[in-house]
Amino acid sequence: MKSTNQRGASPAPTSVAFKLSPVAAGCAMLLSAISGSAYAQDATAGQAADAPVIQTVKVSGIRRGIEDAISVKKNSESIVEAISAEDIGKLPDVSIAESLSRLPGVAAQRVAGRAQVLSIRGLAPDFSTTTLNGREQASTGDNRSVEYDQYPSELINGAVVYKTPDASLVGQGLSGTVDLQTVRPLEFPGRTMAINVRGEKNSLGKQNAGYHDKGYRLSGIYIDQFNNRTLGVALGYARLDSPGQYQKWSSWGYGFDPKTGSTTGLANSGNEIDAGSTKQTRDGLMAVLQWKPTRDFQSMVDTYYSKFDSDTTIRGMQFGTGNWMKDLTYTNPVFGSYNGTQVLQSATVGGIKPVLRNDLNTNRDKLFAIGWNNKLRMNEDWTGMADFSYSKADRQDMILETYAGASGNDSAKIVRDNNTGLPQVTTGLNYADPSIVKLSDSGGWGQDGYVKYPQVTDKLKSARFSAKRGLDGMFSNLDVGVNFTKRDKTRQSAEMLVNLKNGRAPIGVPSNLIQDPTSLGFAGIPGILSYDIMGAVNSLYTLTPKIHQDIYNKDWLVSEKVSTAYAKVGIDDTWGVPVKGNFGVQMIHTNQSSNAFNVDTNGLNKPKSVDEGTSYNDFLPSLNLNFDLGSEQHVRFGLGKTMARPRLDQLRASSSASVDTTKLTWTGDGGNPKLKPWRANAIDLTYEKYFDKSTYFSAATFYKKLSTYIYDQIVPFDYTSYPNDGVTPKSNIGTLKQPANGTGGSIKGVELSGSIDGKVLWTGLDGFGATGSISRTKSEIAPDGPGTTGALPGLSRTVSNVQFFYEKSGYSARVTRSERSNFRGEVTGFGADRTFTDIKGAAQVDFQLGYEFKEGQYKGLSLLFQVINANDAAYQTTLSNGTLKVPGEYTKYGRTMLLGLNYKM
């Protein structure tokens, strides 16, 4: 039997040849128009800063945000992209991840319909780092990468994406580094206050009882200066109460089934049809205290706190139609061609036994960060800096399942959409009838429900000391420093069987627990029985701890101590043309360790605690040059060595093993606390032309050669210290499947980007403008090991963004379109562990209308209407079997509409 499954992947790309989609063609036309324009304006070049900082905005609006971001890009020593707040507390999108995903070479992966994690230049979130005000942050996930929905866009003043390494940038990633920035109160001209209020509605409507399809966003920020402008204070608060709704179908896979009457056609092996409702609440707090008593000394303390709670109820039906089901029958099967392969499109299927699910998932996330920065000009030559920070993240989840069903089998007519896979199902029984549906183990899984309680705690402390002085000659300045970081991340999981109290006999749902039926009408099912999930669990079920060796594998502690020393010289000279930049080196020592369990997979011995680890050194040189060709033209060149530390869950010391009773050899699998980083040599080249402060064109190319890549390998392993299950092995040397350092590869790409003010083309277009970018990336990395063809996680070969806007006389309008091609994405799989799936490319369209009162009694007030995902784009995945790809999941999250006002005083 041949079948497809979710572990399949698309073949590796073989060419970087361009094939322009409509939006890509639009971007190319936009960039061509910019480069062909005769308009130019003289401007004084700004001095490059040590780290780009978004400056205070005195004029608000779309154009001002674009101008400030262009200014950061133009004046940076490194190759960077930037976003800037259009006004205080007002980034251009509803989330910081949405804004970042519109930058050239950056793509977002959506989780539950919202942008949550980012890929930079085709590499997964594992390869980049995110800092807040220049400091590494703890994260609520199992890995290092942050989840951007923890950071309210209303409290972020701007962000910079570093695409090339810089020796003074501590904790930088291999693919790039994102620095989120909050306000600095002494940079504002006076007291500033802003309030933002928005109502929110989801177009799908309420999918489950007990939830709403309406929510709100509320934020406020206060900035002031005291003591003759020597003391600055900034306080911000953001509240999110957001509904989430979705309609989902997914497949268990595909295979050949002779019962269909076809010896070659594929049939779907099972269906899951769900309707989900989510209530998300987030409270974010930001506080900054900046003190500058003299021109030679300043001190700043900034704190950030976020509490994110999410409750999701999922109700649905699932049933198998696989060839292993002996009672299954097919009547009137009809096959159709899908990419040249015959796939079952419709039939009446008998012998099915649907399982009804009433599930509840809760997430309780907390994030806290504080930093204290001090700068002192010690004399005419030297300026010293000391920075201390602490960051902590906590996550507590509950993943609860309960099952129900009818006592006997059923039949259903199933007609599936050949493009999306979404079926229309007509069942014989009414699954909303409480006299038919009983709480039970209707799937025969040996339990009436199940619950998991994964938890994560991440703590990160750091201290940094540096000194900088000006120099004469070719080298303009010298910057030296050290940084010390300590990180401890713990993951734990408890799991329990959820069984009915009455000897696990099926039981009807008490009338006081029954809720309105949940409609699955999007898949042809008018309704299924719904009930108060926690009310049922608390009154009808018994929870018994599940003891299983695999659960111990999910408990681990990883600790890291990282010491970084760096030296960097600024370059300011004339090499035929004026050139600026920097050259530097980082010297890094890493000491890592893990505490976890070694377990016997047969369960005959108690797990054994184990501590393992290693240490290593890295030497990372970097060079950034900016050649001024005149007429506002710049050529930038970057060269450097970069690294990304392994995923924290890959560093776990836990493993499970046993002796094969037939071969009498040890086998096992687990983590690897002795992993070394991903390492790469990188080269970047860009050309930039600036026509005025809001119009530019840029063309960039990059190449990264990874000297090593981490993938699962089967390696010899000494099991002498492992608990034995009583079977005597031939040798204590066996095999262990674990992540290990192996062969690397390369990734390369090109990026085009630009922005244009309409009046550059024609004065009649005053007020109109556009921005756009397109990137094309090719990988020659085999992420699953040499000889494999799996796609590189996070890589979309083509990513494009285009924005058209109008802003004049208080009126504003904006339409944006973001698109990324197919990619292999990381998702939460069975057992709350990570897995990969092939996600289909998609385009999302957003638009916004606004009006700002420029004068009169309402001056400072602006009105706003937004639609997110205006084209109602779906989330889709595919299952693979060689070159064949068939639908795997189809989920609609609907449109999100927001109406609100902003008031600034």
Please report the pLDDT score of residue 541 as a whole number: 98
What does the alpha-carbon distance between residue 124 and residue 140 come to, in Å, rounded to a whole number?
Answer: 17
Position 89 scores a pLDDT of: 67
Looking up residue 191, the CATH number of its domain turns out to be 2.40.170.20
CB 255 within 8 A of CB 3: yes
- What is the H or E stretch that residue 79 is in? none
Task: Confirm if 197 and 900 have CB atoms less than 8 A apart.
Answer: yes
Q: What is the pLDDT of residues 38-83, one digit of tens each?
A: 333 333 333 333 444 444 334 468 888 899 999 999 999 999 999 9
- Residues 104, 109, 114, 116: is their CA dihedral positive or negative? negative
Q: Are 144 and 79 in contact (CB under 8 A)?
A: no
Predicted pLDDT of residue 832: 62
C-alpha–C-alpha distance, residues 315 and 297, integer Å: 60
pLDDT of 16 > 70? The answer is no
pLDDT at 833 over 60: yes
Lowest mean pLDDT among 4-18, 505-519, 867-881: 4-18
Q: Say how far apart CA 860 and CA 856 lie, in whole Å.
A: 9
For 23-40, what is the mean pLDDT?
40
- The count of domains in the chain is 1
- Residue 790 is predicted with a pLDDT of 85
Query: Looking at the predicted structure, is the pLDDT value of residue 21 above 60?
Result: no
Residue 536 Cα distances to 252, 359, 441, angstroms: 28, 11, 15
Alpha helices in 750-815 (DSSP H): 758-761
State residue 640's pLDDT score: 97
Spatial separation of the C-alpha atoms in residues 887 and 422, rounded to whole Å: 9
pLDDT at residue 831 in the model: 60
β-pair partners for 66: none
Residues 242/310, Cβ–Cβ less than 8 Å: no
Percent of the chain with pLDDT over 90: 74
Rounded distance between C-alpha atoms, residue 196 and residue 188, angstroms = 19
Sign of CA dihedral 498, 500, 504, 510: negative
Q: Which residue has the higher pLDDT, 486 or 153?
A: 486
Which has the minimum average pLDDT: 112-126, 234-248, 285-299? Answer: 112-126
**CA nearest neighbour of 111 among 485, 482, 363:** 363
Average pLDDT over residues 513-539: 97
In SS3 terms, 870-891 reads as CCCCCEEEEEEECCEEEEEEEE
Q: What is the pLDDT of residue 610?
A: 87
pLDDT digits (tens, 9 = 90+) for 704-760: 999 999 999 998 988 887 777 677 888 989 999 999 998 889 999 999 999 999 999
The whole-number pLDDT of residue 149 equals 85
> What is the band of 881 on the pLDDT scale with cuts at 50, 70, 90?
low
495 Rama sector, left if φ>0, alpha if ψ -120 to 50, beta otherwise: beta
Query: Does residue 778 contact residue 797 with C-beta atoms inside 8 Å?
Result: yes
| Mean pLDDT calculated for residue range 651-671 | 87
pLDDT of amino acid 551: 82
Full domain range(s) for residue 178: 3-904
What does the mean pLDDT of the chain come to?
A: 89
Q: How far is CA 153 from CA 181, 239, 494, 755, in A?
A: 11, 11, 34, 23
* 745: nearest Cα among 799, 699, 774, 787: 787
Task: Give the model's pLDDT for residue 32.
Answer: 41
**pLDDT (0 to 100) of residue 129:** 94
Burial of 503 (0-12, 13-18, 19+ CB in 10 A): exposed
Average of per-residue pLDDT across 754-767: 93
Tell me how far apart the alpha carbons of residues 303 and 6 are, in angstroms, rounded to a whole number.
42
Q: Please list, in sequence order, all residues whose beta carbon lies within 8 angstroms of the beta carbon of residue 764, skipping any fewer than 6 positions away.
A: none
Could you tell me the two tokens for 378?
């010690």
Tokens 């049922």 -> residue: 536
How many CB atoms neighbour CB 818 within 10 A?
23
pLDDT of residue 675: 95
Are the C-beta atoms of 238 and 155 separated by less than 8 Å? yes
What does the alpha-carbon distance between residue 402 and residue 534 come to, in Å, rounded to a whole number? 10
Q: How far apart are CA 792 and CA 560, in angstroms?
A: 27
Greatest alpha-carbon span in the chain: 90
- For residues 589 and 608, give the distance between their C-alpha atoms in angstroms, rounded to a whole number: 30
**Residue 788: φ, ψ to 5°:** -95, 160
pLDDT value at residue 26: 42
Closest CA to 356 of 407, 321, 319: 319
Report pLDDT for 827: 84
Q: How confident is the model at residue 824 (pLDDT cuts 50, 70, 90)?
A: very high
Q: pLDDT (tens digit, 9 = 90+) per residue, 223-232?
A: 999 999 999 9
Q: Quick count: other Cβ atoms within 10 Å of Cβ 341?
A: 17
Length of the chain: 905
